[in-house]
Amino acid sequence: MTKLSVNVNKVATLRNSRGGNLPNVLKVAMDCEAFGADGITVHPRPDERHIRYADVYEIRPMIKTEFNIEGYPSERFMDLVLKVRPEQVTLVPDSPDALTSSEGWNTKEHFDFLSKTIDTLKNAGIRTSIFVDPVLEFIESAARTGTDRIELYTGPYAAGYAENPEVAAAPFISAAALAHKLGLGINAGHDLSLTNLKYFHEQVPYISEVSIGHSLISDALYLGLQETIRQYKECLKNT
């Protein structure tokens, strides 16, 4: 079954809006695991507007499943992940002021930079993933960097799902097939929700892991965290 990694950034956003430590990000991360999540994702940004670098150090020793750290590989970010040693680092091309991740890497243009970064991470024993759009030439270039996985940016799928699910999923089916052929593991994430996740999982092959934050935490306001995780996991069951 495809694994569910819960991104707890939005919990940190809520905490930071008031100061103090409510809600407690560490407790939420641990509860997510206890409620069935297969991993925890964080995305520390330079301005620390949600997850703080201190949070990453606090969360790391408490995670018993899989810890995935997303981010742009700046010098500060690389220092963090090499000290923390998560199971996976997902490289994203965000600018420092990006509101959220809104596109994948042009792996042809940034090939040398990504290759060097991935060498550093793999030498430290960290699994690597590159955030990419479902563009076949970028997936081919990603494979040549030596990365272990790609993460398909699913924003366009989510945006097109309501109008035509089949058309929205089509490029991701082709992208996943090529990535698998090239020996890459495949993750996916961004705007996946209880509305569109089941169809995506049924249609797009070879997905090892989905990383979901905003929609899942929003749903938890109504359903509760435990029930929300149960429902997302239900979407990922093989039929």
pLDDT tens digits, 111-161: 999 999 999 999 999 999 999 999 999 999 999 999 999 999 999 999 999
pLDDT of residue 118: 98
Model-level pTM greater than 0.85? yes
- The DSSP secondary-structure symbol of 100 reads S
Mean pLDDT of the chain: 96
Q: Which amino acid, 93?
A: P
Domain count, the chain: 1
Task: State the residue range of the domain holding 155.
Answer: 3-235
From residue 152, how far is each of 44, 101, 106, 123, 179 by CA, in Å?
20, 12, 13, 24, 10
pLDDT of residue 191: 96
* Euclidean distance between CA atoms 131 and 108, whole angstroms: 13
Under the banding of pLDDT at 50, 70 and 90, the label for residue 103 is confident
- Burial (Cβ within 10 Å: 0-12, 13-18, ≥19) of residue 222: exposed
Angle of CA points 41, 176, 142, to nearest 5°: 70
Structure tokens at 181: 């052929």
CB 231 within 8 A of CB 200: no
Catalytic residues: 43, 70, 190
Going by C-alpha positions, the residue among 32, 91, 24 that lies closest to residue 64 is: 32
Under the banding of pLDDT at 50, 70 and 90, the label for residue 94 is confident
Under the banding of pLDDT at 50, 70 and 90, the label for residue 222 is very high
| pLDDT, average across residues 202-216 | 98
Quick: pLDDT tens for 19-71. Answer: 999 999 999 999 999 999 999 999 999 999 999 999 999 999 999 999 999 99
Cβ-proximal residues to 96 (8 Å cutoff; 6+ apart), any chain: 45, 46, 47, 72
| pLDDT, average across residues 197-218 | 98
CATH code at 86? 3.20.20.70
Cβ-proximal residues to 24 (8 Å cutoff; 6+ apart), any chain: 15
pLDDT of residue 72: 96
> What burial letters (b/e) apply to 106-131, b meaning 16+ CB within 10 Å?
bbeebeeebbebbebbeeeebbbbbb
* Euclidean distance between CA atoms 73 and 46, whole angstroms: 11
